[in-house]
Structure 1
Amino acid sequence: MMSSAMFRTVRLSPPLRLRNRRHSSSISALYAAFKDPSSPFHLPPGTPGPESPDTPSTHANLSTLARESPSRMEALEEAKETLLQKGFDPQSFWEQRIVWGDQDPFQHVNNVRYIRFFESARIKWMMSLGEELGGPTRAEAMIKGNGVSLILKSIDVQFRRPVTFPDTLLIGYRPVPPASGHTDVATFHVAASAYSLSQKAFVAHTKEALVWYDYDALKKCHPGERALETLWGRVREP
């Protein structure tokens, strides 16, 4: 015999099509109210809607970057002066903010991160060469592999000090004049260093081989005398 407990009242939800119709009808009504000049919800064409009650203050810090403080700006200027004294090209200077996720379980910035940090500075430097050679169009071609640009052949990183969050690194590049007897015009070397604003010291150095490369022909090439003059014109005496 079935007990009365087995009989339960089940409330069925309206069919999905009906629910969609109701939802769509409420949206249509709201849209019509926006278009109706007599409605309090009316928005004339081209007029922005009301601000959200949660709109942040214009002074809010909305980025993940550290706040700009006078002491940080002084540290940045000191870092730039240090790199300039070492002969680094100011057009390559790249500020790399350290974020929490750059650290690994050893509680310092993971070694592989530095490869990306140096890459960002190198790309900025490449674009500055392109700007000098042919303006924004040439700079864009340089980083998109159109025509003659640069390609990384090798990179050797020397780690000097561990870096932890929060910090900012200033990275600079400089071309290294070729040794006497160097005959491969397509290949040249650069040096780069990362300087910690919080430690006021260099934390990593690289030695890299770059190659002038024709991306259309897919082979290394002579970049032309003007490109070579532009490159070696960036050499600064430490």
Structure 2
Amino acid sequence: MINLEDEKSKYIFTMKLDIRWSDMDELRHVNNAVYLTYFEQARVYYFQEACQWNWKEIGVILASAHVDYLRPVVFPNPTYVYVRTSKIGTKSFEISYLITSIVNGIEELTTTGHTTMVLYDYESNKSVSIPDFLRERIRAYETVEI
């Protein structure tokens, strides 16, 4: 059993998600395919806040994604996504996510996930090493050892 408060304490970055009516399916909850869009949206804002990412200089591509659906997200419950870098390698890093919703006044964990991101040079069509300055910015932003 995941202790939500313990998990949230590992995350500096959080943002409110605006659930759109079109995000839901005929079962009246957010469709499973939309969660990766939520991850992407939050990841972009996280990168801007954590390391002032310059997209024109250093490209990044999604190498893999994993989502665990624990509870449905439904409109109009207030919903939040928490984002952090959980691992940094030579050419890739892992971003972890929590999605929570406020249900009857209580914050509940609805979704966990992670994506592996690879730095990429679009001119040479090759992955590239993570520059030291970027690694340092991410580590300085996070509160847990990565």
TM-score range, shorter chain: 0.7 to 0.9
- Unaligned 5+ segments in structure 2 are none
Structure 2 residue matching 1:230: 3-state secondary structure: helix
Match runs of 1:139-218 below 5 Å: 139=53, 141-142=54-55, 146-177=56-87, 185-198=90-103, 199-218=106-125
Query: Percent same amino acid among aligned pairs?
Result: 22
Structure with bigger helix share is 1
Provide Cα deviations, 1:62-119, integer angstroms capped at 9, x if missing partner: xxxxxxxxxxxxxxxxxxx9488431132xx221122322221112111111111111
RMSD: 2.4
Aligned to 1:219: 126
Q: Which whole-Å CA distance do the structure 2 matches of 1:119 and 1:108 have between them? A: 19
CA contact (8 A) 2:95 2:117 kept: yes
Provide Cα deviations, 1:113-144, integer angstroms capped at 9, x if missing partner: 1111111001111222442xxxxxxx4x42xx
Q: Which whole-Å CA distance do the structure 1 matches of 2:119 and 2:12 have between them? A: 19
User: Match of 1:188, as an amino acid?
Assistant: F
- Unaligned 5+ segments in structure 1 are 1-80, 132-138, 179-183
CA contact (8 A) 1:177 1:235 kept: no
Q: In structure 1, which of residues 102, 105, 108 is the aligned counterpart of residue 29 of structure 2?
A: 108
Aligned to 2:18: 97
Tell me: CA distance 1:147–1:223, structure 2 relative to 1, closer, same or farther (3 Å).
same
Q: Which whole-Å CA distance do the structure 2 matches of 1:84 and 1:114 have between them? A: 19
Structure 1 residue matching 2:17: 3-state secondary structure: strand
User: Match of 1:149, as an amino acid?
Assistant: G
Q: Which whole-Å CA distance do the structure 2 matches of 1:147 and 1:218 have between them? A: 14
Q: Which whole-Å CA distance do the structure 2 matches of 1:171 and 1:222 have between them? A: 28
User: Match of 2:43, as an amino acid?
Assistant: R
Q: Which whole-Å CA distance do the structure 2 matches of 1:85 and 1:117 have between them? A: 17
Q: Which whole-Å CA distance do the structure 2 matches of 1:171 and 1:158 have between them? A: 14
Bigger Rg, which one: 1
Matched length: 140
TM-score by length of 2: 0.82
CA contact (8 A) 2:63 2:118 kept: yes
Structure with bigger strand share is 2
Q: Which whole-Å CA distance do the structure 1 matches of 2:38 and 2:46 have between them? A: 13
